Amino acid sequence: MAAPIEPRVVAEGVSKWFGALVAVSDISFDVGAGVTALLGPNGAGKSTMLRMLCGLARPSQGSVRALGRDPRTDTSVTRLIGLVPQQESVFEPLTAHRFVALAATLHGVPEPGAAAARMLETVDLDPTDPRKLPAYSKGMRQRVKVAQAIVHDPHVLVLDEPLTGLDPRQRADMVALFRRLGSEGRCVIVSSHVLDEVERLGSQILVMSQGRLAAAGDFHELRALMDDRPLRVRVRTDRPREVAGALLEGGTAVGVRLDGDDAFELDTNDARALAHALAPVARDRGARLFEVHPLDADLEGVFRYVVER
Amino acid sequence: MSASAIRTSARGSLAALYRLLLRTQITVPRLVGIATLGALSVIIGVFARWDSDPSQAAADAVSSYGLGLVVPLAALWLGTSAIGDLVDDRLLVYLWLKPVPRWQLPAAGVLATATVVVPLAALPVAATALAAGANDVALPALLAASLAGFAYAGVFVAAGFWFRRAAWWGLAFVLLWENAVANLAEGSARLTVVGWANSVLATAPDVEVTPSAGSATVAFIVLPAVAVTGWLVATWRYQRADID
């Protein structure tokens, strides 16, 4: 009897360059069953990395193994991989059911029409909808893409920004679906540039920044590291002096700098504590808050901090 | 999986790809455009009826307009879009990541292109001869146009894999290579599809067709070989290209 296939994806020293542009630089990791989030800002090289994991692109250097085989040269391994690509384009003349049934047919799934209908229902879409795909909303198309990626029950599921365009309820449903697929023993790799999205997806995380693997491991440890970093926030209020003073006195701010008559910038080591304290402090002093704007909260800033640590 | 199951699965995937490409290729503007080219060919045939030698006039119309423009332009329009549109729209990813032999997508592209080109372009080219009253020219014209349609389908499907904006590259190929080079010097027609298609047309009785590449027998080998070469080149490219 053949040994069961272990759902595992391994990258060893993988680099990819396009001419002088280095998109991915010397990345190694080994991920198995469960959900692994690939986090990084736009342009970090996530999509290029995911394309190489599926075999769509050949690494310029290093190697990728999916389920123990080279997905670039071994066509049979594609039977066990599902991909939700980042691009929004879909086959315009097709209905959702025909699109998913096409994927099922090409994967050799028995009764592709019935399988397609089941998968569309799984992602909360009507398999009898006669509309062509261009008539679907962005969120609906995104769910169709997920359905076509899982219709053949893959061992490895690669999802490139799959939550884009979904409303909060749909996001929650999709996250639950990905977690279920992971808990059933599949290797699910999900890319995102949204930190909160990743938090809900799973515990394992790979952080990419500027083509490199900046961090890898347990999400909660990484999140704590990110939350602990100093943060600079600009606050616009009609009583900047009073509010800034109270925050400094309460220890929420570790430094303040007034900026004209209606604003100040503060440094804090605890973003969550600031979020809880700011509104009550302003209310107690009769101040009105016009704007609260983190100055370095973009992912690039977060990653820079993580990488520098 | 047993050998017969694999064969059945391969046939099923080829048929699925063929149907998909046919659906994506057939758009109203394309059908109207190609049908208009074909209709113009038939109208030219009607005018040829009043020529002192209708058979020769029909052969000239079929050669210069039908085989020189209608068939290659129809194949260009459809062939470059068969795969080229998937590349440009970044849809190839949905097909590449399937356990389907790589030769099937280019094959489906060539077959889908020929499926539209033969009825919409080759039949009107044959009808041009009938409209001219040159019934003896009609069958050679149909054979020549159909074989040329297949050959061009192979060339342009491969071009769709290789070039961005393949339609412009193909237009230059049709106008400069197929029409200019074919008439450049004696023997240069052997380097063109239209030259070999003319060789088939030249089997019609009592007509002279220029430029002609050689014997019709060789043309029956060369034209399918061009289609097969295009398909193989496209397959080679598909196997090696990074898919976006």
For the cut 90, the answer to whether the pLDDT of residue B125 exceeds it is yes
Cα–Cα distance between A303 and A72 in angstroms, integer? 31
Nearest by CB to B96, from A56, A93, A103: name it.
Answer: A56
pLDDT digits (tens, 9 = 90+) for B41-55: 999 999 999 999 999
d(CA A263, nearest CA chain B) in Å: 47
**Nearest-CB residue to A105 (from B16, B23, B24):** B16
Strand partners, A11: A29, A64
Cβ contacts (< 8 Å) between A93 and chain B: which residues? 23-24
Name chain A contacts of B104, Cβ cutoff 8 Å: none
Type of residue numbered B92: L
Residues of B in contact with A54 (CB under 8 A): 97
The residue behind tokens 């289609």 is B227
Is A73 in the B-facing interface, judged by CB distances under 8 Å? no
Tell me if A289 sits within 8 A of A236, measured CB to CB. Answer: yes
Confidence of residue A303 (pLDDT cuts 50, 70, 90): low
For chain A, say whether B29 makes contact (Cβ under 8 Å).
Answer: no
Tally the residues of chain A. 309
Rounded Cα gap, residues A87 and A51, in angstroms: 12
Cα four-point dihedral sign B157, B159, B160, B162: positive
- Exposure of A281 in the CB half-sphere (CA atoms within 13 A): 23
B67, B144 in Cβ contact below 8 A? yes
Mean pLDDT for chain B overall: 92
A106–B95: do the CB atoms touch at under 8 Å? Answer: yes
ipTM of the complex: 0.86
Look over chain A and give the mean of its residue pLDDT values, rounded to a whole number: 89
The residue in chain A having the minimum alpha-carbon distance to the alpha carbon of residue B97 is A78
Instruction: Please tell me which residue, B48 or A221, carries the higher pLDDT value.
Output: B48
Q: How confident is the model at residue A229 (pLDDT cuts 50, 70, 90)?
A: low
If residue B118 lies in a helix (H) or strand (E), which one and from where to where? none
Contact residues, chain B, for A92 at CB < 8 Å? 24
What are A218's two structure tokens?
């347990």
pLDDT tens sequence across A133-178:
999 999 999 999 999 999 999 999 999 999 888 888 888 889 999 9
B242–A87: do the CB atoms touch at under 8 Å?
A: no
A87 touches chain B (CB under 8 A): yes
So what's the pLDDT on residue A1?
Answer: 46
- Torsion over CA: A54, A55, A57, A61 (sign): positive
A-chain CB neighbours of B93 within 8 Å are: 56, 83, 85, 87
- Residues from chain A that touch B91, judged by Cβ atoms under 8 A, are 89-91
Structure token digits, residue A231: 């943060």
pLDDT at position A120 is 97
From the list A231, A241, A254, the residue with the least C-alpha distance to A281 is A241
What are the Cα distances from residue A243, in Å, to A91, A240, A278, A290, B118? 56, 5, 8, 13, 79
**Does B187 lie at the interface with A, CB-CB under 8 angstroms?**
no
Cβ separation of A92 and B24 shorter than 8 Å?
yes
The token duo for A259 is 């900026």
Q: Are A288 and A237 in contact (CB under 8 A)?
A: yes
How high is the pLDDT of residue A306? 60
Who among A76, A78, A90 is closest to B97 (CB)?
Answer: A78
Flag whether residue A89 sits within 8 Å of chain B, measured between CB atoms.
yes
Considering chain B, what percentage of its residues have pLDDT values greater than 90?
A: 82
Chain A CB contacts of B21 under 8 Å are none
Best to test chain B binding among A75, A99, A148 (most B CBs inside 10 Å): A75
Contact A62, A70 (CB under 8 A): no
Q: Can you read off the two tokens belonging to residue A230?
A: 């100093």
Mean pLDDT of A229-245: 89
Query: Which of A54, A87, A90 has its CB closest to that of B97?
Result: A54
b/e for B83-116, b at 16 or more Cβ within 10 A?
bbbbbbeebbbbbbbbbbebbbbbbbbbbbbbbb
Which of B14, B97, B244 to mutate to test binding with chain A, by most A CBs within 10 Å of its CB?
B97
For A73-129, how does the pLDDT look when each residue is reduced to its tens digit (9 = 90+)?
A: 888 899 999 999 999 899 999 999 999 999 999 999 999 999 999 999 999 999 999
Q: Which residue of A has its CA nearest to B12?
A: A105
Contact A93 B90 (CB under 8 A): no
DSSP B178: I
Nearest to A73 by CA among A87, A89, A52, A94: A52
Task: Render pLDDT for A14-29 as a digit per residue (tens, 0 to 9).
Answer: 999 998 899 999 999 9
> Rounded to a whole number, what is the distance in Å from the CA of A60 to chain B's nearest CA?
11
**Cβ pair B9:A108 closer than 8 A:** yes
Model confidence at A238: pLDDT above 60: yes
Total Cβ atoms within 10 A of residue A217: 12
Task: Tally Cβ neighbours within 10 Å of residue A168.
Answer: 7
**What is the structure's pLDDT at B205?**
93
Q: What is the three-state SS of chain A?
A: CCCCCCCCEEEEEEEEEECCEEEEEEEEEEECCEEEEEECCCCCCHHHHHHHHHCCCCCCEEEEEECCECCCCCHHHHHHEEEECCCCCCCCCCEHHHHHHHHHHHCCCCCHHHHHHHHHHHCCCCCCCCCEHHHCCHHHHHHHHHHHHHCCCCCEEEEECCCCCCCHHHHHHHHHHHHHHHHCCCEEEEEECCHHHHHHHCCEEEEEECCEEEEEEEHHHHHHHHHCCCEEEEEEECCHHHHHHHHHHHCCCCEEEECCCCEEEEEECCHHHHHHHHHHHHHHCCCCEEEEEECCCCHHHHHHHHHHC
